[in-house]
Amino acid sequence: MQRFTATRPMSRWRLGTSARARGMTLIEILVVLTLIGIVMGIVGGNYLGQGEKAKAKAAKIEIEQIGQTLDLFRLEVGRYPTTQEGLQALISAPAGVSNWNGPYWKKGTLPKDPWTHEYKYASPGQHGAYDLYSLGADGKEGGEGNDKDITSWE
């Protein structure tokens, strides 16, 4: 006995797959993109300020290194460089200094802070024998947060 079956084309709707298995709707895609954006905002926000904090730490370390070099200058010369002589006295002998035994800063050129500004130096300083500081990210005196000056006296 032969069985007669009608053949009709199967539409894609009747392949036995549910609507969910076919793909994502536009709303589902937008929800996923929104969630990804929120997660990236939280994670990215945590890392965004890390670069400036690292620069501030690097400036603090370099100020301490320059301070040690200034102390060595003082041990040999008997005083810190004056404000007029500046940090350049660590590389080349100031006029009229007979017992200068430098260069004290071995790198040959004076360093700049991580924001490519010159370090500020004054001797005698308002906060000690000398004041050595960086103006920070904004390049202006004072400031708060990431724009705060990095100093030798704090």
**Looking at residue 149, what is its pLDDT?**
83
**Alpha-carbon dihedral of residues 65, 66, 69, 75, nearest 10 degrees?**
-120
Specify the CATH number for the domain of residue 135: 3.30.700.10
Handedness of CA 7, 12, 13, 16 (dihedral sign): positive
pTM listed for this prediction? 0.67
**HEC secondary structure over 10-76:** CCHHHCCCCHHHHCCCHHHHHHHHHHHHHHHHHHHHHHHCHHHHHHHHHHHHHHHHHHHHHHHHHHH
Yes or no: say if 93 and 100 are a contact pair by the CB < 8 Å rule.
yes
**Which of residues 12 and 57 earns the better pLDDT score?**
57
DSSP code for 142 = S
**Is 141 among the domain residues?**
yes
**Is 15 among the domain residues?**
no
If phi over 0 gives left and psi between -120 and 50 gives alpha, with beta otherwise, what is residue 11? beta
Res. 21: pLDDT tops 70: no
* Residue 101 belongs to domain spanning: 52-151
**Is 121 among the domain residues?**
yes
**Is 17 among the domain residues?**
no
Count of domains in the chain?
1
Give the model confidence (pLDDT) of 93-120 as tens digits. Answer: 888 888 888 788 888 888 899 989 999 9
Q: Which has the closest alpha carbon to 90: 99, 101, 98?
A: 101
% of the chain at pLDDT higher than 90: 32
**Is 58 among the domain residues?**
yes
